[in-house]
Structure 1
Amino acid sequence: MSISPSSSAQAARENVARRLRDLRRNAGLTVTELASQCHWHHAKTSRIENARTPPSPADIRSWCGATGAEDQVEDLIAASQDAESLYREWRQRVRAGLRKLQDSYVELYRATDLLRTYSPVLVPGLLQTEGYARALLSTNARLLDIPDDAAEAASARLQRSRIIHEPGHRFVMVVEEAVLYYQLGNADAMAAQLGYLLTAGALPAVSLGVIPMSTRERTLWPQETFDVHDDTLVSVELISAEVNITQPSEIALYIKAFERLRRMAVYGADARALILRAIEALR
């Protein structure tokens, strides 16, 4: 099984590029002729048509003006902006600060009835304690070379996490056992985080599974961190970007992968035993 988390974004970009190329061809213009009418170099036309450079709204207006397709301007601008929203670099997302980034997810979580989360390296965001979240977000700030407002962002993340207590939502979360040993913050912060997992795993709306490191003959190797919002959106976290997947066939593949991972996990008393063992290892 091979999953390409950026293919939905690329497919959307290519769709916009194809529509623009068709407009040029239907207008009987060469690449050079269109570039001349738009007052830019012909290489820019080629980059846009080959989906290597996303067109700006001004580019699309010029393109449609040159090809006599002014009636398609707004639709193409909307399609291009949607395509770019599927792949969003963290550097762009955090320009207004880490706290604003946390707040931006609230409506998405509120609109989700069933959230499936898989994480091979971190405690899922909705189950993070303030100390753990603060250490994680501070590390991210240093990596991205941005101002460190981790304390405010961690507080916002905890406010967002209250959704697990609101009616009408279900949360199925699966982590690798290694997550319990990757220490963020000091030992006290990590112990508090692991202790909270013991409580959170017993919440009525939460199913928390842990895939033991001792699992033999795994049916799927560890994957990237991802969330499945109902059956309509998959959000994948990469080092450099967040990839939002909306293509039904890819969503189905992620759900299939999640089910394989979920079936390898242990729950209830067995999961608690793994968490307690990790707590003991901190001493």
Structure 2
Amino acid sequence: MSTDYQRAREALGARLLRLRRAAGLTGRELAAALGWAHSKVSKLECGRQTATPADLEAWATATQQPDAIPSLLSDLEGLETNYRSWRRSLPNGHQPVQEEIRRAEQGVALTRAYEPVTIPGLLQTPDYARAVFTANSALHRTPRDTDAAVTERMRRQEVLYQPGARFEFIVGEAALRSLICSRVAMAAQVYRLASTIGMPNVTLGIIPFAAALPMTLRHAFWIKDDTVTTELISARQLLDNAADVALYVRAWEAYRSVAVTGADAHRLLSAIALSLSA
């Protein structure tokens, strides 16, 4: 969890504490009025738990300060802009999230993606994407809108042909060999990556297993102009602090320094595709 996110959550908790005290209620009294465990009140006030919109509305109503609801909800929206749990993002499945990402990608001048174990979404084939969404739906126990999600992800890929946009991808060799789909589908996915080599606005780098690494392979991240997005198992996180972005740019440059590109990348992809087709 980012420091900025935690500080924002603690600030929201401090506001809730002030509302309760202004109403002359103890934590136990408020919990009883709301039908909550006392521990929930404590966790929300201390910033150890993220409130839901319903929590905030109930809190303001119980403390007889309903006028505070709009600003509380605004604080929560700002907090979740930088850290959004998948539990909250996926109640209606993956398609709405893909649509949201597609809209956010419009107008981005430079996209740099680092994916050590997964094919980047903008380069996925339909079969590979279908396997990813199926697995994620099972993990998060979300509605299975797989076909709609795949369609939206393919629509996202239109941004690759947007005038003035530049894309640089770094993919770990593990992503090319991990069989999240059938061998035939995986071979087709590898050939799809090979087809991007030579595109004027796309650079594909691959970190081979045998590369002498400048540091260990860390989690995936995307740098879009001057913001960074990371995807954890539990949440998606947006970083826009200049120091954080600079740190990820340094990590990106370190990984790029050992990635093979151009003809070398094409030879590696061809060898992997042949091994998958054997």
TM-score of the two chains, using structure 1 as the length reference = 0.83
Cα deviation code 1:167-189 (max 9, x no counterpart): 12111111111111112322221
Aligned pair partner of 2:273 in 252, 256, 279? 279
The aligned amino acid for 2:56 is P
Q: Does 1:173 align with 2:169?
A: yes
CA contact under 8 A between 2:92 and 2:143: conserved in structure 1? no
Q: Does 1:208 align with 2:204?
A: yes
CA contact under 8 A between 2:27 and 2:41: conserved in structure 1? no
Give the superposition deviation at 1:45: 4.4
| Deviates further, 141-150 or 109-118 | 141-150
Q: Does 1:246 align with 2:240?
A: yes
Q: Does 1:270 align with 2:264?
A: yes
The alignment-based identity, stated in percent, is 33
Q: How do 1:1-283 and structure 2 match up within 5 A?
A: 6-21=2-17, 32=26, 39=33, 43-55=39-51, 56-59=55-58, 61-62=60-61, 74-216=70-212, 218-231=213-226, 233-282=227-276, 283=278
Give the Cα separation in 2 of the matches to 1:188 and 1:229.
32
Give the Cα separation in 2 of the matches to 1:129 and 1:111.
23
Structure 1 residues 44 and 269, CA gap change in structure 2 (3 angstroms): same
The aligned amino acid for 1:246 is D
Aligned residues: 272
SS at match of 2:223: strand
Cα deviation code 1:100-135 (max 9, x no counterpart): 222121111103221111101111000011111112
Cα deviation code 1:203-256 (max 9, x no counterpart): 11111111111112x21211111111211x322111222222233322222222
Give the Cα separation in 2 of the matches to 1:73 and 1:102.
30
| Deviates further, 155-164 or 145-154 | 145-154
Give the superposition deviation at 1:11: 2.6
Give the Cα separation in 1 of the matches to 2:229 and 2:77.
17
Give the Cα separation in 2 of the matches to 1:38 and 1:18.
20
Give the superposition deviation at 1:37: 11
**What are the ranges of 5 or more consecutive residues in structure 2 without an aligned counterpart?**
none
Give the Cα separation in 2 of the matches to 1:185 and 1:81.
37
CA contact under 8 A between 1:31 and 1:46: conserved in structure 2? no
Cα deviation code 1:34-57 (max 9, x no counterpart): 965994576554322210233433
The aligned amino acid for 1:228 is I
CA contact under 8 A between 1:116 and 1:172: conserved in structure 2? yes
SS at match of 1:116: strand
| Deviates further, 159-168 or 84-93 | 84-93
Give the superposition deviation at 1:63: 8.4
The aligned amino acid for 1:135 is A
| Deviates further, 206-215 or 55-64 | 55-64
